[in-house]
A and B are shown apart, each in its own frame.
Chain A
Amino acid sequence: MLEVNNLHVHLDTPAGLVKAVDGVSFRLEAGQTIGIVGESGSGKSVLAHSLTKLNPEPPATYPKGEILFEGENILTMDKKRLRNLRGKEIAMIFQDPMSSLNPVFRIGRQLMEAIQTHQKLPKKEARQKAIELLIDVGIPDPERRMQDYPHQFSGGMRQRVLIAIALAARPKLLIADEPTTALDVTIQAQIIELLKSIQKKYGTSIIMITHDLGVVANLADRILVMYAGKIVESGSTADIFYDTAMPYTWSLLRSIPRLDAGASERLLHIEGHPPNLIHPPKGCNFHPRCPFARDACLQTDPPLAERGTNHMAACILTKPEFDKEKRAVAERKGVLLS
Chain B
Amino acid sequence: MTALLEIKDLHVHFPIKNGVLQKTTGHVKALNGIDLNVKKGEILGIVGESGCGKSTLARSIVGLQKPTSGDILFDGNTYTDASAKELYELRRNMQMVFQDPYTSLNPRMKVSESIAAPLKAYKKTKNLESRVKELMELVGLNPDDHYNRLPHEFSGGQRQRIGIARAIALEPQLIVCDEPVSALDVSVQAQVINLFQDLQKKLDLTYVFIAHDLSVINHIADRVAVMYLGKVMERSNRESFQTHAQHPYTNALLSAVPLPDPDKERARERIVLKGELPSPANPPSGCVFHTRCPKATEFCKTNIPVPEERGVPGQEVACFYPVGAEEKARITL
Contact = CB atoms under 8 A, between A and B. Distances in A.
A300 interface: no
B259 A186 contact: no
Given A185-B212, A257-B193, A190 B187 contact: no
Given A211-B186, A241-B260, A186 B265 contact: no
B214 interface: yes
A186 B273 contact: yes
B278 to A, nearest CB: 11
Given A156-B276, A186-B252, A257-B215, A252 B186 contact: yes
A188 B213 CA distance: 12
B245 to A, nearest CB: 11
A236 B214 CA distance: 27
Contact of A255 (B190, B255, B266): B190
Contacts of A186: 49, 252-253, 256, 272-273
Nearest to B249: A186
A217 B256 contact: no
A40 B188 CA distance: 11
B261 interface: yes
Interface stretch (A53-61, A107-115, A259-267): A259-267
A217 B260 contact: yes
B258 A215 contact: yes
Interface in B169-227: 185-191, 193-194, 212-216, 218-220
B185 A39 contact: yes
Interface string B234-265: 00001100100000000011111111111111
A83 B155 CA distance: 38
A259 B190 contact: no
Interface in A251-285: 251-253, 255-261, 263, 266-271, 273-274
Contacts of A263: 238-239
Contacts of B260: 213-214, 217, 241, 253, 256, 258
A135 interface: no
A196 to B, nearest CB: 11
A260 to B, nearest CB: 4
A259 B256 CA distance: 11
Interface in A226-255: 237-238, 241, 251-253, 255
B50 interface: yes
Given A189-B270, A241-B262, A269 B257 contact: no
A267 B333 CA distance: 19
A215 to B, nearest CB: 5
A39 B259 contact: no
A268 B258 CA distance: 20
Nearest to A140: B275
Interface residues of B, number: 47
B53 interface: no
Contacts of A269: 190-191, 194
Contacts of A84: none
Contacts of B277: 154, 184
A188 B187 CA distance: 22
A255 B276 CA distance: 32
Given A184-B49, A185-B253, A217 B258 contact: yes
Q: Output the residue of B194, B213, B265 with the most chain A CB within 10 A.
A: B265
Interface string A182-203: 0011111110110000000000
B214 A185 contact: yes
B151 interface: no
Contacts of A156: 276
A187 B238 contact: no
Contacts of B252: 186
Contacts of A267: 190, 193-194, 219
A255 B264 CA distance: 19
A157 B187 contact: no
B190 A260 contact: no
The winner among A39, A156, A257 for most chain B CB atoms within 10 A is A257
Contacts of B257: 185, 214, 259
A217 B265 contact: yes
Interface string A129-151: 00000000000000000000000
A102 interface: no
A218 interface: yes
B193 A258 contact: no
Contacts of A256: 186, 189-190, 215, 260
A128 B270 CA distance: 33
A212 interface: yes
A257 B260 CA distance: 10
Interface string A167-189: 00000000000000000111111
Given A217-B265, A257-B219, A263-B238, A273 B188 contact: yes
Contacts of A40: 185
B237 to A, nearest CB: 10
Nearest to A270: B187
A193 B219 contact: no
B67 interface: no
Interface in B150-171: 155-158
B194 to A, nearest CB: 5
Contacts of B273: 186, 189-190
A270 B276 contact: no
A155 B259 CA distance: 23
B194 A218 contact: no
6 contacts: A189-B272, A192-B258, A255-B189, A257-B219, A258-B259, A266-B194
Given A190-B273, A237-B262, 19 more contacts: A154-B277, A185-B212, A186-B253, A186-B272, A188-B258, A189-B272, A190-B272, A238-B263, A252-B186, A253-B260, A258-B219, A260-B333, A263-B239, A267-B193, A267-B194, A269-B191, A270-B188, A273-B185, A274-B185
Q: Which 6 A-B pairs have the closest CB atoms?
A: A214-B258, A257-B219, A255-B190, A189-B256, A213-B260, A267-B190
